[in-house]
Chain A
Amino acid sequence: MIWIVSIAVLVMLAAAVAVMVLPNMVAAVAASSVVSLALAVLFALMKAPDVAMTEAAIGAGLSGLLLAMGLKRLGLWRLED
Chain B
Amino acid sequence: MRNVSGLLFAGGLAFLLLVLASQLPYGHTAMTLGGAILAHAPGEVHTANIVAAVLLAYRGIDTLGELSILFTAAAGVGLILGHSSLRSNNVQQSEQAESGFITTRAVDLLMPLLIVVGFYIIFYGHVTPGGGFQGGVILAIAFFLPALVRPGNPIDHGLITLLEGLAGGGFILVGLWALWYDKPFLQPIFDSFLGTGPLGSLWSAGTLPLLYLAVGLKVGAELAGLLVTVVDVPDLSNENSDSNAVNKK
**Which residues in B have some Cβ–Cβ distance to A below 8 Å?**
49, 51, 121, 129-131, 133-134, 137-138, 140-141, 223, 227, 230-231, 233-238, 240-241
Contact = CB atoms under 8 A, between A and B. Distances in A.
A75 B241 CA distance: 10
Contacts of A72: 235
Given A58-B137, A65-B227, A73 B130 contact: no
Given A50-B129, A53-B129, A61-B141, A75 B237 contact: yes
Contacts of B141: 57, 61-62, 65
B192 to A, nearest CB: 30
Interface in A38-77: 49-50, 52-54, 57-58, 61-62, 65-66, 69-70, 72-76
Contact of A50 (B134, B138, B234, B240): B134
A27 to B, nearest CB: 19
Query: Of residues A52, A53, A58, A74, which shows the largest number of chain B Cβ atoms within 10 Å of its Cβ?
Result: A53
A62 B236 contact: no
B230 A75 contact: no
A16 to B, nearest CB: 23
Determine chain B's interface SS by DSSP, over half rule: helix
Contacts of A69: 227, 230-231
Interface of A: 49-50, 52-54, 57-58, 61-62, 65-66, 69-70, 72-76
Contacts of A50: 49, 51, 129-131, 134
A66 B227 contact: yes
Contacts of A54: 133-134, 137
A49 B124 CA distance: 14
12 contacts: A52-B129, A53-B121, A53-B134, A65-B227, A66-B230, A70-B230, A72-B235, A73-B230, A73-B235, A73-B237, A75-B236, A76-B237
Given A69-B227, A74-B237, 8 more contacts: A49-B130, A50-B49, A54-B137, A57-B134, A58-B137, A65-B141, A69-B231, A73-B230
A58 B133 CA distance: 10
A61 B130 CA distance: 16
Given A62-B141, A69-B231, A75 B240 contact: yes
B236 A73 contact: yes
Contacts of A74: 236-237
A44 B67 CA distance: 25
A61 B237 contact: no
A69 B228 CA distance: 11
Contacts of A57: 134, 137-138, 141
Nearest to A58: B137
Contacts of A49: 129-130
B7 to A, nearest CB: 30
Contacts of B140: 62
B113 to A, nearest CB: 15
A25 B68 CA distance: 33
Contacts of B223: 62
